[in-house]
Amino acid sequence: MKTIGLTGGIASGKTAVSDMLAARGLAIVDTDLLAREVVEPGTPGLAAIATAFGPAVLAADGSLDRAALGAIVFEDAAARATLNAITHPRIRELMTARVAAHAAAGARGAVLVVPLLFENGLDAMVDESWVVDVPETVQKQRLMARNGLSEAEADARIASQLPRDAKRAKATRVIANQGDLAALGVEVERVLAEAGLA
């Protein structure tokens, strides 16, 4: 089974691409979803976050208040490192288990959707790395519209990730996403053919 690491900056279109890949029969392992699983109420992950950051990061129902936590970690590298030390090993463990399950089920390819693929060294776990690439001006507009962020907040989130050029340089394949969904579909078909997964 071929494993693909799919990444790209925040609001670059990773979800749209992973949906297209799923529609073409590839197994999808989305680390954003795994990240939610490891901090669900009652998990050791959520308990560790509450211990590290205090009760202000918990909602009234005991779940993680993502906005409160995000406000802390996106502007503080040390806080972000603390959060990553809590969540990343748990996410990696779940990811490995899901990939093994897809391989055992006979999937021809598994796509690991990992926003911080290169930053966290997870590209070493996959056969190929695919980057969804979008111009920063488009990325910022999408992020502000999607998350209701100010320009400064959007800039801070984009700046917290590996620069666009660095991602492109590390990628096995680049999927351009500055057009509409039809254009993106053409790009997806191209990389699938190049990778022998069409």
Residue 74 lies in a domain: no
The CATH number covering residue 119 comes to 3.40.50.300
pLDDT range class, residue 119, cuts 50, 70, 90: confident
Residue 90 lies in a domain: no
CA angle 139–35–141, rounded 5-degree value: 10
Helices of type H across the chain: 14-23, 31-37, 44-53, 66-73, 77-104, 136-147, 151-159, 164-170, 181-194
Query: How many domains does the structure of the chain reveal?
Result: 1
Residue 54 lies in a domain: no
- Condensed to tens digits (0 to 9), the pLDDT of residues 12-54 reads 999 999 999 999 999 999 998 999 999 999 999 999 999 999 9
pTM (2 decimals)? 0.84
Residue 182 lies in a domain: yes
Query: Domain range for residue 125?
Result: 2-26+108-194
Could you give the CA distance from residue 148 to residue 14 in angstroms, rounded to a whole number?
Answer: 19
- Condensed to tens digits (0 to 9), the pLDDT of residues 44-96 reads 999 999 999 999 999 999 999 999 999 999 889 999 999 999 998 999 999 99
Cβ-based neighbours of 129, under 8 Å, separated by 6 or more: 4, 5, 7, 117, 118, 123, 170, 171, 172, 173
